Amino acid sequence: NLIPYLAFSRGSFKTSEITNHTLTNIKIVEQFLGKIFEVKDNVVRRI
């Protein structure tokens, strides 16, 4: 999963589907680091 690595860098990635697993990883990382991701149109972006 790319979410933990993306948390410490800048960038984004596009996928065919945002899965519940991806959303869970985002929520866990954001519990530690605050709101740092944006999810829109199957793109996860580090903000």
Choosing from 5, 11, 21, 39, the catalytic residue is 21
Q: Contact 15/42 with Cβ under 8 angstroms? A: yes
Is 14 noted as a catalytic residue in this protein? no
Q: Contact 43/12 with Cβ under 8 angstroms? A: yes
Q: Which residues are catalytic?
A: 21
